A = this chain, B = another copy of it.
Amino acid sequence: MKIGLDIMGGDFAPKATVLGAIEAAKILPEGQQLVLIGDKDVALSILQENNFSAENFEFVHTTEVIGMGEHPAKAVIKKPGSSISVGFQLLKDGGIDAFSSAGNTGAMLVGSVLSVKTIEGVIRPAMSTNVPKLTGGFGILVDVGANADCKPEYLPQFGVLGSLFAESVYGMVSPRVSLLNIGEEEEKGNALCQAVYPLMKENKNFNFVGNIEGRDLFSDHADVYVTDGFTGNVALKMAESFYVISLKKQIKDEFFARFNYEQYGGSPILGINAPVVVGHGISSPEAIKNMVLLSRDMAQSGLVEKIKNAFQ
C-alpha cells in the first residue's frame, strides 16, 4: 500500500509535515510505504537534520504550492504542478492508495471531485469530524463544511457515509445515527430538518435514532450526528474554541484533552472514490502523523468499496 502525503500543505509545512511523516514512518509496518509529495530537496534537508533516512520514503518532487488563501477551483486548475494537484493525479492513476494534506480545504474538495470523482449515487461528498463524548470515545459529526447549503436528500446520504466511516474505520457496531436539530420531537426544526427526518427514518442503510440537540453533542445519545455543512462548521469551530479555552485556562481533564484535533488527524472527505483526509491548517507533526494513519486506516478498511456497495 502506498500512502501519499502532501508535505507542502499546512501553516507549518514543510517542517511539521516532514516531522509528522517521520513519526508515521516509524509506526507503519512493512508493505505500507509513505510517498512524500512536494519539494524533495527541502524534505531531504529536514530528514538529514533529523537523522532520519530518506530510504524510508518514496518522493514525488513538485514545484508549485496552492496557498491557504487561494481560490480552490482556480488554484487546482491553474497549478497542475502543485503538490495537491499532483497528489490527486497519483491517486487517480493508482500511484498512491490514499492521500492527505493539511493544505487548502477547498482545493482538496475540488481536487477530489475533479480527479477520483464522487462515488456514483452520492449526490455530494461530505466531511466529518470527531466529537468527544463525556462518557468516553467520540461521535462523528457530518457534514462540517463541504456543503454550506443542503437539500433534504443530501442528509440521509451523510448518514450513510458517517455510519459506514464509524463502522469501518473505528469499529463501531451498528452506529446510532441522529439528526442535529433544535428539538427532540419528529416535527421540530427548520424546513430542512422537517423534510430530512422522514427520509432518515425510512432509510434502511443505517440505525436512525432520531433528533439530538446542541447540548447532546458531547453525551452518548448517538454515534453519528448528521447536519448541514453550515451548522456543522459552526459547531465544529465552537468545539475547537472550547479546546483552546481549556488550554488557556490550563484545565487538565481527559475529556477536554480528547477535544484535541491532533489525535484524530483530520477530516475525511467521504463519498469519493478514494481515501482522502484534510488536516487542520495548524497541524503539528503529531496531527500529521495521525492524518497519515487515518488515511491508511480508511484504505485498509475498504471503506470506499463499502460506500460504493451501499449506493449501488
Query: Distance in Å from the Cβ of A47 to the closest Cβ of chain B?
Result: 34
| B230→A213 contact, CB < 8 A | no
What is the minimal beta-carbon distance from A226 to any residue of chain B, in angstroms? 13
User: Which residues of the partner chain B approach A238 to less than 8 Å between Cβ atoms?
Assistant: 214-215, 217, 235, 238-239
Cross-interface CB contact of A215 among B228, B230, B241, cutoff 8 Å: B241
How far does the alpha carbon of A189 sit from the alpha carbon of B148 in the complex, in Å? 6
Query: With A and B bound together, what is the CA distance between A269 and B239 in angstroms?
Result: 28
Tell whether A240 is near chain B: CB-to-CB under 8 Å.
yes
Closest Cβ of chain B: how far from A41's Cβ, in Å? 34
Asked if B148 contacts A233 (CB within 8 A), the reply is: no
* Interchain CB contact under 8 A, B190 and A230: yes
Q: Which DSSP category, helix, strand, loop or mixed, fits chain A's interface?
A: helix
Determine whether A52 belongs to the interface, using a CB cutoff of 8 Å to chain B.
no
Q: How far is the CA of A228 from the CA of B234 in the complex (A)?
A: 12
Cβ-based interface call for A245 (8 A): yes
In whole Å, how far is A112's beta carbon from the nearest beta carbon of chain B? Answer: 19
- Listed from nearest, the 10 A-B pairs whose CB atoms lie closest are A214-B237, A148-B190, A215-B241, A214-B234, A215-B237, A214-B238, A182-B233, A190-B230, A149-B190, A149-B191
Spell out A's residues near B (CB within 8 Å): 134, 145, 148-149, 180, 182, 189-191, 193, 213-219, 228-231, 233-242, 244-245, 248-249, 251, 253, 255
* 26 sample A-B contacts, Cβ–Cβ < 8 Å, listed by A number: A134-B245, A134-B248, A148-B190, A180-B234, A182-B230, A182-B234, A182-B237, A189-B230, A193-B230, A214-B234, A214-B237, A214-B241, A215-B237, A215-B238, A215-B240, A215-B244, A217-B238, A217-B241, A218-B241, A230-B231, A234-B235, A235-B235, A238-B238, A245-B255, A249-B253, A251-B251
